[in-house]
Structure 1
Amino acid sequence: MTIVRMDNVSIVVEDLDATISFFVELGMILEGRMMVDEEWAGRVTGVRDQKVEIAMLRTPDGHSRIELSHFHAPAMASDHRLAPVNSLGYLRVMFAVTDLDDTLARLRQFGATIVDEVVNYRDVYRLCYIRGPEGILLGLAQQLK
């Protein structure tokens, strides 16, 4: 049997409100927020006695989601936010956008910065990497006609 779909990507953040605002500005839709502190959650994650507030956001097409998590307990174990793009492990999420320049202008108001530069990939895409709130690394790609 193969997988059916990918449900979401989870990102742990310190400032849940600011990060939600950033992703909503990007065009994602907030589906809801809730506190998860029941015993079953620690058995799934291996982090016992956790108290974590989560927010689920979905893309406008309804196919992809990001789960933002803020741990109230226990304390954050490590920090990978400023890892360079050649670091091991999960690194970034790529979004297709309709207008890269407009998207960048709007996200700059939320502290986003371009990692290096916007490039034209073989006249197929204009794309770049950005750092959003808390150093979250995202890729943005605009398909060219």
Structure 2
Amino acid sequence: MKIRSGVSPIVATVILILIATAAGVLLWVWVSGYVSRNPTAQSALDERIKVEAVRVEVETNSSKVTVYVRNVGSVTVNISSGYVLDVNGNLIMGGPVNSTLVKPGEVGSVVISSEQELIKGNLYIVKIVTQRGTESLYSFVVPP
């Protein structure tokens, strides 16, 4: 009697099906990572702003800083916060501002006001932040 050695055809077929299924799953995971991009993350990359100018109004016991922001990116930005810092990075005034939408290529304005008086002749830094976290800094001197 002859003894046959080797793998039976049924076991070989099951192994080939498992290998093909695993390869298909790996291919699907790899392709889906490239095809489906997170639109929010992509928008954050396309978002760019630039502070064009600053207008400062200082009165007794109050200050108002109007910041003009240009959208140089390719998506509409939502300006959510504005801060005025001293040269050491300490917060002087600011925080959340009225939401300002700025379309690509346009200029929007943000008003930061406080009951604190900015010192004339001092150097300050204004920081504008969008809802997605994009920032722009601009330094200015309060006119005498």
TM-score, normalised on structure 1?
Answer: 0.24
TM-score in terms of structure 2 length: 0.24
Structure 1 or 2: more strand by fraction: 2
